[in-house]
Amino acid sequence: MTAQPARQLELVREVRFRFYPAERRVLRRRQRLTSSEWAERYLRLPQSVTSMSGPFRVGRTPYLREIMDTRDLPHVRRVVLCAAPQTGKTLSAYIPLL
């Protein structure tokens, strides 16, 4: 009776998967980006909500970089801000959630 489970293990070892190139692209390990790097690469600001429409640039508001990247740290549970109105606080809070 113990021989059969061993045989099943041997069969499992012989299984090989072949992936199509498109499947490989989807399953490949992706580069880990910080929130600020992700925002600069992928986020676009629409003209309907801001006068600075187009690609998001942290260089326009450099103080947001540390705020956004701090939220990525595994040991950080809460980020508290005290800042002037309309300085990007809400956007910096939403970006790590995207």
The three-state DSSP-derived secondary structure of the chain is CCHHHHHHHHHHHHCCCCCCHHHHHHHCCCCCCCHHHHHHHHCEECCCCCCCCEECCHHHCCHHHHHHHHCCCCCCCCCCCCCCCCCCHHHHHHHHHC
Q: Is the pLDDT of residue 42 over 80?
A: yes
Residue 58, C-beta contacts closer than 8 angstroms, at least 6 positions apart: 36, 39, 40, 64, 65, 68
What's the whole-number mean pLDDT along residues 70-81? 90
- Asked whether the whole model's pTM tops 0.75, one would answer no
What's the whole-number mean pLDDT along residues 2-30? 74
What's the whole-number mean pLDDT along residues 40-69? 88
pLDDT at residue 62, rounded to an integer: 92
- Please give the structure tokens belonging to residue 83: 């800042």
What's the whole-number mean pLDDT along residues 71-98? 88
Chain-centroid distance, C-alpha 20: 25
